[in-house]
């Protein structure tokens, strides 16, 4: 017997002062005989989780020299590809859950009129998940298109407490125009609920944590709890004890591990906030108190929050903007001391292309941390990695030329068994990335969509 007491609804919260903690999937939540309906095959009760990640500035492998060196796409197609020379080499442990889609173009990020020439950095992010061309404006009359993640959330995210969440790493909230006649919202936002509605992005892990675990409480309750410096779990201790008494042994262990993970993420956020408000010199002096100065620490915290959100089914859809166009951030752990944007303008020089590839490889190396997290979380017979599609790519190709050809795009995860993975697919010259995205949307259950952005048809994926 998994359950000692009564059946527990899937949408169960443990509530206390300023806290509303959703639970992971427990055996006690599954009616007898319903295992397969809830845990396998991407059923209506268990849609695929989606994470769409943008890294700006393209890739060294999109340059002519970089392509000959296979700095992004392997030389072999099919399943017998070699990752070692490429920026994707850190994904070797997950090659069975990796698809590489190479030689696709993002034409909608190109300049369509003479006035738009030079503005590639300031319109590209808005194109990544919409595959639509942004209207050039510095005002509020923005226009681009609904994004892939939001089309999915509108269909499969409406029965979760949060239909979708949008996260980022670098600074946002810039008002007015950025450059070349484009409003900053095109640079800040990759998620668009409609062609005129960009969605706000969260940079501060504390804000994301409060959305996930403070939902349902009042602002006054949350402020009181934060003022005490106590854990969010301290307010629900009694409720945890009463629930545990109803559960079988395996469920108690699952619940304990989950709450331990929630507490560990909270501790890390508290530690970061304490340091950043201590008066110590910061590498990012204008960043919010909850934002780590370390890029890796920030990214990993955001990935931890996404894993917890999926585990508790608070949301099934994330977009994650890991960089900002024209960023001058330096990534010492990459082995390069060059700022990101200047490094991307490598002039086509072989040694400079290889230097930029170090940064590309460093960014990709963030992904295995998240993949391992998802792989370690079981739901029935599968892991969360089996049930997730992680997209990672850029709307830019060779950043030195500001072009949008041979743009990077990979997908990781099992997608609920609906995607054949472990392959490298290369497409004919001129193939829109939108064709691949349309096919991925079909894989996600939006089979009725006939087109997306500038697609010319579904691609074989």
The per-residue pLDDT for range 403-415, each reduced to its tens digit, is 999 999 999 999 9
Asked if 195 and 126 touch (Cβ cutoff 8 Å), the reply is no
**How crowded is residue 294: how many other Cβ atoms within 10 Å of its Cβ?**
14
Residues 6+ apart with CB under 8 A from 370: 51, 303, 306, 307, 390
Measured CA distances, 40 to 12, 184, 385 (Å): 21, 42, 12
The reported pLDDT for the residue numbered 150 is: 98
pLDDT at 151: 98
Q: How many residues does the chain have?
A: 461
The percent of residues in the chain predicted with pLDDT above 90, rounded, is 79
Q: What is the pLDDT of residue 380?
A: 83
Residue 178 pLDDT grade (very low, low, confident, very high; cuts 50, 70, 90): confident
Residue 357 has pLDDT above 50, yes or no: yes
Percent of all residues in the chain with a pLDDT value above 70, rounded to a whole number: 91
Average pLDDT (320-336) is: 95
pLDDT of residue 390: 98
269 burial class (0-12, 13-18, 19+ CB within 10 angstroms)? buried
Whether the model pTM is above 0.75: yes
Mean pLDDT, range 372-387, rounded to an integer: 95
In the chain, where the domains are located: 1-32+217-290, 33-203+291-443
Mean of pLDDT over the chain: 91
Please give the helix or strand (H or E) that residue 126 lies within, else none: helix 120-128
Cα 151 to Cα 148, 195, 442, 451, 457, distances in angstroms: 5, 11, 12, 12, 18
User: Which has the closest alpha carbon to 150: 200, 115, 113?
Assistant: 200
Ranges assigned E (strand) in 247-395: 317-321, 378-379, 382-383, 388-393
Among 36-45, 152-161, 187-196, which stretch is predicted with the lowest mean pLDDT? Answer: 36-45
pLDDT over 50 (residue 60): yes
Q: Please name which of 235, 237, 240 lies closest in space to residue 26, comparing C-alpha atoms.
A: 240
Question: Half-sphere exposure of 223 toward its Cβ, with a 13 Å CA cutoff?
Answer: 3
How high is the pLDDT of residue 237?
85
φ/ψ of residue 373, rounded to 5? -55, -50
33-203+291-443 to CATH, choices 3.30.565.10, 3.40.720.10, 2.40.160.20, 3.60.130.10 = 3.40.720.10
Tell me the average pLDDT across 11-26. 85
């Amino acid at each position: 017997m998994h359950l000692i007491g009564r059946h527990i609804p899937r949408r169960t919260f443990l509530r206390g002062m300023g806290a509303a903690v959703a639970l992971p999937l427990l055996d006690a939540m599954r009616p007898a005989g319903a295992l397969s309906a809830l845990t396998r095959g991407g059923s209506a009760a268990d849609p695929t989780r989606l994470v769409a990640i943008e890294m700006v500035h393209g890739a060294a492998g999109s340059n002519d020299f970089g392509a000959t060196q296979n700095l992004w796409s392997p030389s072999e197609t099919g399943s017998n590809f070699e990752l070692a020379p490429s920026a994707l080499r850190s994904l070797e442990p997950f090659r069975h859950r990796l698809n590489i889609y190479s030689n696709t173009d993002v034409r909608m990020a190109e300049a369509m009129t003479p006035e738009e020439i030079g503005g590639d950095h300031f319109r590209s992010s808005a194109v990544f998940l919409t595959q639509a061309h942004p209207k050039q404006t510095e005002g509020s009359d923005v226009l681009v298109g609904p994004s892939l993640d939001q089309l999915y959330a509108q269909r499969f995210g409406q029965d979760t407490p949060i239909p979708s969440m949008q996260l980022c790493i670098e600074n946002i909230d810039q008002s007015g125009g950025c450059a070349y006649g484009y409003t900053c919202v095109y640079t800040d936002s990759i998620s668009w609920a409609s062609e005129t509605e960009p969605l706000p992005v969260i940079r501060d892990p504390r804000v994301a944590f409060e959305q996930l675990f403070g939902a349902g409480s009042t602002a006054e309750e949350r402020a009181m709890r934060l003022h005490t410096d106590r854990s969010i779990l301290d307010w629900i201790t009694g409720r945890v004890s009463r629930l545990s008494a109803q559960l079988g042994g395996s469920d108690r262990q699952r619940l304990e591990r989950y709450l331990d993970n929630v507490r560990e993420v909270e501790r890390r956020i508290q530690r970061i906030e304490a340091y950043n408000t201590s008066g110590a010199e910061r590498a990012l002096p204008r960043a919010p108190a909850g934002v780590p100065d370390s890029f890796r620490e920030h990214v990993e915290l955001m990935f931890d929050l996404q894993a917890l959100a999926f585990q508790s089914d608070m949301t099934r859809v994330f977009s994650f903007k890991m960089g900002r166009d024209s960023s001058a951030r330096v990534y010492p752990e990459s082995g390069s001391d060059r700022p990101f944007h200047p490094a991307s303008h490598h002039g086509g020089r072989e040694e400079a292309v290889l230097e930029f590839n170090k940064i590309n490889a460093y960014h990709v190396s963030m992904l295995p941390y998240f993949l391992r997290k998802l792989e370690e979380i079981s739901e029935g017979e599968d892991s969360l990695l089996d049930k997730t599609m992680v997209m990672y790519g850029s709307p830019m190709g060779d950043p030195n030329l500001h072009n949008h050809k041979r743009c990077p795009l990979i997908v990781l995860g099992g997608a609920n068994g609906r995607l054949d993975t472990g392959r490298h697919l290369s497409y004919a010259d001129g193939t829109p990335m939108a064709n691949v995205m349309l096919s991925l949307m079909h894989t996600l259950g939006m089979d009725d969509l006939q087109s997306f952005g500038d697609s010319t048809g579904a691609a074989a994926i």
